[in-house]
Amino acid sequence: MSIVDQIRQDDILVLSINNPPVNAFSPGVPEGLKAGLDAAQADDTVRAVVIIGSGRTFVAGADIKTFNMPREQAPDLRGTVEKLDRFPKPTVAAIHGTALGGGLELALACTYRVAVPDAQLGLPEVKLGVLPGAGGTQRLPRVVGAAKGLEMMLSGNPIRGAEARELGLVDELVQGDLLEGAVRFARAHADARPLPRISERSVEGGSPEVFAAARESIKKTHRGQLSPSLIIDLAEMAATQPFQTGWEAEAEKFMQAKDSPQSRGLRHIFFAERESAKIPGLSKDTPTLDIRSVGIIGAGTMGGGIAMNFLNVGIPVTIVETAQEALDRGLGVIRRNYENSAKKGRMTMEDVEKRMALLTPTLNMEDLADADIIIEAVFENMDVKKEIFTKLDAIAKPGAILATNTSTLDVNEIASVTGRPESVIGLHFFSPANVMKLLEIVRADKTSDSVLATSMALAKKIRKVGVVVGVCDGFVGNRMIHRYGDEARKIVEEGAAPQDVDASMNALGLPMGPFQMSDMAGLDIGYAIRQHQAKVRGEPKPDGWLDRIVERGRKGQKTGAGIYDYDEQRKPRPNDEMEELISSYRAEKGITPREISQEESTKRLAYSLVNEGAKILEEGIAQRAGDIDVIYIYGYGFPAYRGGPMQYADEMGLQNVVADLEKYGQTPAPLLRRLAEEGKTFAQYDAEKGRA
Binding footprint of ligand 3HC on the chain (CB under 6 A) = 21-22, 24, 60-65, 77, 98, 100-102, 105, 124-125, 128, 130, 132-134, 136, 271, 274
DSSP letter, residue 205: T
Nearest Cα neighbor of 675 from 657, 661, 648 is 657
DSSP letter, residue 127: G
DSSP E strands: which ranges in 249-346? Answer: 294-297, 317-320
Q: How is 41-68 classified by DSSP, letter by letter? A: HH-TT--EEEEEE-TT-S---B-GGGGG
* Distance set, CA 501 to CA 515, 540, 644 (Å): 8, 27, 19
Per-residue b or e along 396-431, where b marks 16 or more CB atoms closer than 10 Å to that residue's CB: beeebbbbbbbbbbbbbebbebbebbbbbbbbbbbe
- Report the SS3 class of residue 177: coil
Asked if residues 153 and 210 have their Cβ atoms less than 8 Å apart, the reply is no
Q: How far is the CB of 213 from ligand 3HC (least distance, A)?
A: 24
Q: What is the rounded CA–CA span in Å between residue 604 and residue 613?
A: 14
Parallel, antiparallel, or unpaired: how do β-strands 565-566 and 572-573 relate?
antiparallel
| Terminal alpha carbon distance of the chain | 32
274 versus 570: smaller Cβ distance to ligand 3HC: 274
Q: How far is the CB of 63 from ligand 3HC (least distance, A)?
A: 4
Asked if residues 145 and 205 have their Cβ atoms less than 8 Å apart, the reply is yes
**How long is the chain?**
692
125 versus 502: smaller Cβ distance to ligand 3HC: 125
Asked if residues 51 and 92 have their Cβ atoms less than 8 Å apart, the reply is yes
Q: How is 229-277 classified by DSSP, letter by letter? A: HHHHHHHHHHHHS-HHHHHHHHHHHHHHHHTSHHHHHHHHHHHHHHHHT
Q: What is the rounded CA–CA span in Å between residue 498 and residue 582?
A: 10
277 versus 652: smaller Cβ distance to ligand 3HC: 277
DSSP E strands: which ranges in 30-96? Answer: 48-53, 91-95
In the residue annotation, 105 being an active-site residue is answered as yes
Q: How far is the CB of 60 from ligand 3HC (least distance, A)?
A: 4
Residues forming beta bridges with residue 121, ordered by sequence position: 99, 159
Residue 149: Cβ-neighbour burial (10 angstroms; 0-12, 13-18, 19+): buried
35 versus 277: smaller Cβ distance to ligand 3HC: 277
Residues forming beta bridges with residue 410, ordered by sequence position: none
Residue from 105, 172, 487, 494 carrying the catalytic annotation:
105
DSSP E strands: which ranges in 91-153? Answer: 91-95, 98-100, 112-115, 120-122
Q: How far is the CB of 122 from ligand 3HC (least distance, A)?
A: 8
Q: What is the rounded CA–CA span in Å between residue 108 and residue 414?
A: 57
Q: What is the rounded CA–CA span in Å between residue 136 and residue 138?
A: 5
116: Cα separation from own chain's centroid: 28
Q: What is the rounded CA–CA span in Å between residue 577 and residue 99?
A: 58
141 versus 303: smaller Cβ distance to ligand 3HC: 141
Backbone angles phi, psi at 670, to 5 degrees: -55, -45
Q: What is the rounded CA–CA span in Å between residue 277 and residue 270?
A: 12
For residue 490, the number of C-alpha atoms closer than 13 Å in the C-beta half-sphere is 14
- Report the SS3 class of residue 28: coil
Q: What is the rounded CA–CA span in Å between residue 375 and residue 390?
A: 14
Residue from 125, 172, 440, 487 carrying the catalytic annotation:
125
Nearest Cα neighbor of 396 from 370, 426, 425 is 370
Catalytic residues: 105, 125
